[in-house]
Amino acid sequence: MVDIGSDVSIGDGKVVIMAGPCSVEGYDQIRNTGAALKENGLCILRGGAFKPRTSPHTFQGLGLDGLKMLRAVANEFGLYVITEALSVENIRDVSEYSDIVQIGSRNMQHYPILWAAGEQDKPILLKRGFMNTLDEFLLAAEHISSRGNSKIILCERGIRTFDNTTRFTLDISAIPLLKQRSGLPVVADPSHAAGRADLVTSLSLASIAAGADGILVEFHPNPQNALSDGNQSLPLDTLPKFISQMRSVAFALGRNIH
């Protein structure tokens, strides 16, 4: 179990829904998202400030300004922040402004970032590299813990397979396997796995049914105009319905939602 704050832990039996846009695009966008999370009883706001984009010609994030917006909105609504650290140089800033530091799929085996993550005092959410085995994933987590930080949450976010109907393939079996083998909390990211919004609810339900301690899911006030990952983002006004669907699977398994 990893404590995020005095009132929220990941891996305590409850399902944590971490939601928000792919990228912080501006103050209004992130504030609207934070307000919706609060209204719907969620407690962890996601949003990227430093963005690892496949193409260098697309939006790369607002950087430090984005971090400050996330923090301001989270403070206003009493939320926690999860955001990605993209490099050793910015991990200190990310750690200072956030409550959970995310290490992205593309950096899962970037050992200097893992070592730097091991020196932070914030919980680390480590995403599985989309070309990596579970053994490699677990060893990457040990690179973090070997430097003194054992507050680690593992995230299955889809792996590359021969099938390109979806952006990646969510490896559902990884969820129980990682839990068995590591004892760490395990969450799933259905958004980056699917790459398309119409599958995100199904994959989220399946992840919870498979025992995930939470989900990290992209919601945007206006997905059509999103500066990144609009295709896979759910519209913010569908959040209440989404939560109630997640709640029914959680309840069926004797669990609750954070």
The footprint of ligand PEP (CB under 6 A) covers: 22, 48, 52, 84, 104-106, 127, 157, 189, 192
**Bridge partners for 44 per DSSP:** 18, 80
Select from 167, 19, 161, 46 the least CA-distant residue to 101. Answer: 46
Interface pattern 11-40 for Mn ion (x via CB under 5 A) = -----------x------------------
Q: To the nearest whole angstrom, how small is the minimum distance from the Cβ of residue 245 to ligand PEP?
A: 21
The dihedral of CA 46, 49, 51, 57: what is its sign? positive
Nearer to ligand PEP, 90 or 252 (CB): 90
Q: To the nearest whole angstrom, how small is the minimum distance from the Cβ of residue 241 to ligand PEP?
A: 23
Residue found under tokens 């706001």: 45
Q: To the nearest whole angstrom, how small is the minimum distance from the Cβ of residue 150 to ligand PEP?
A: 22
Task: State the CB neighbour count (10 A cutoff) for residue 235.
Answer: 14
Select from 177, 217, 214, 213 the least CA-distant residue to 194. Answer: 217
Q: To the nearest whole angstrom, how small is the minimum distance from the Cβ of residue 189 to ligand PEP?
A: 6
Examine residue 229 and tell whether it contacts Mn ion (CB under 5 A): yes
Nearer to Mn ion, 127 or 151 (CB): 127
Rounded to 10 degrees, the C-alpha dihedral 53/3/187/65 comes to: -20
| Contact positions vs Mn ion (CB under 5 A) | 22, 229
